[in-house]
Structure 1
Amino acid sequence: MSRLGSFFFLILILFFAFSGVFGTIGTGNVGIRTTLGVISPDEIGPGIYMKWPFISKVQEFTAKEIAIDVQDLTPKARDNLSLRDMDITIYYHVAPGGITELQAKYANQSARDEESGVWFPAHGLVSRLVRNAAYEEVSRVDSLILHTKRDEIAAAMHKNVQAQLEANDPKVFSVSRVVIRSVMTDPSIEESIRAAVANQKRLEAMTIQTEIAKREAQIKITEAEGIAKAQAIISGSLTREYLQHEVNQALAKFAEKGSAHTVVIPANMSSTPLINIPSPK
């Protein structure tokens, strides 16, 4: 091909490109072609593709992770009290090879991102499932403790939604995680929660005080038992013979004093007192 021919060929390509004959699919996305109302079974991979003006259209769907915000939910707890507001975000992605089938099956469930123009497959389906899961899982928990169960509820919702998606479309959806961003209870419930927390704190304080009193009482009992045992040991060792021996020793020391003239003899004394009477000078 001559240089002039190559130039005209390049001009022709540019003309087709700018006239809308060619299109591009971004990395991580796939294109779904619909020709005369019939969806092509094969996805268009990332790169350049040929358009067929007036005959077909190509929609670009993302196969990347999608985040859906589900807001302003008011589910009822197990005690039949409704939340004032609950906001959730679910993260999921769809297998690239399953997007065509999803589009054929759930044609009205996809949503278009206005900023990028890319479509989110089964957006409406996943939104509905996570909304239903929120109402179902919250109904299993009492409102007074619901604020402490956010992680457990989110995990249960994750499992719930994944199971339903897998049951209807095996190996197509993958839910990454569910995040409960906000839980706002009714003012009366919040007051009950505050009262319950305050009562719990008082109960904990009373429990600690009771435990301290028990420990102090136990210490006193232990000390009393120790004293009683010591007294029992002493009492057991003070025999009649031992006491008499001690009396004799005391009297002997008393008698040794040169100035002693008087001796007090205990009652029932069986031994002979030792008396030191000074000799006359």
Structure 2
Amino acid sequence: MSQPVHALFLVSAPDQPGLVARLASFFYAAGLNIVDASNHTDVHAEGGARFFMRLVVDLAGLSTPAASSALRGSATRGALEAAFGELATSLSAQWSVRYSDVVQRAAVLVTKDPACLYDIVLRQRSGELPCEIPLIISNHPTLEPVAESFRIPFVCLPVTPETKADQEKRVLELTAQHHIDLVILARYMQVLTSGFLDHAPPVINIHHGFLPAFQGARPYHQAHARGVKLIGATAHYATKDLDQGPIIEQDVARVTHAMGPDELTRVGRDVERVVLSRAVRAHLERRVIVEGRRTIVL
């Protein structure tokens, strides 16, 4: 039995009376069933309250006379988007849509640490992350055997300060060639330039974000030296501002004075794996709306 095909709409707009009713009425008039919906109004938003909504719409009704009539005789995805766009304009709304039968393609960028790479690929292979992974890129050859074990193409692109521009250009060429929709930085230990990010698909990074005082190398050794009681991780969209992009997911774990640097590293890696996979899944499931420097995860 084939899976139903859904359209996943994300909407953000200035808050106003009747928003939910108008959005629901649009799909009702087209004979399309809303199978899931969630919304939130941020009354603290700068410039006035903002409304956010995620709608999952069953496209089975798109072939009915009601849909054809409501969409001006063309019951296609293009006609649906055009008509919804007109409604969104009348609401001063921003919106986007993806379809469940169009599988997103993710490239994973790594350096030498295999923990997050293994976790992402295993979750993808088990069906937990709804995407394809056609490409792994690294600035070191260390993890090529991991890619080979999963039969995923691996490209090693070494980088130095002198070759960084050319290396990033080649990464962009590969993402275009493989039709990549999302870039996952699975402990990729290179700072991406604003020029790269301006042309790349969305990029999700994992960072030891609950160690803000410990920048640079060996953060868990620094944490041990300071006797921290919590360690954690933050997954965020990468922007030109280093580790300052909109946050998607965070978590922490308690630690004690009895744990050495190696034990802190192990605990930290566990948190990083979980946080990164949660963020990637939220993105792939179209549950994340970026609003300025923050996200709304519905």
Instruction: Give the TM-score category using the shorter length.
Output: under 0.3
Structure whose residues are more often helix by fraction: 1
Which has the bigger relative contact order, CA under 8 A and spacing at least 6? 2
TM-score, reference length from structure 2: 0.22
Q: Which has the larger radius of gyration?
A: 1
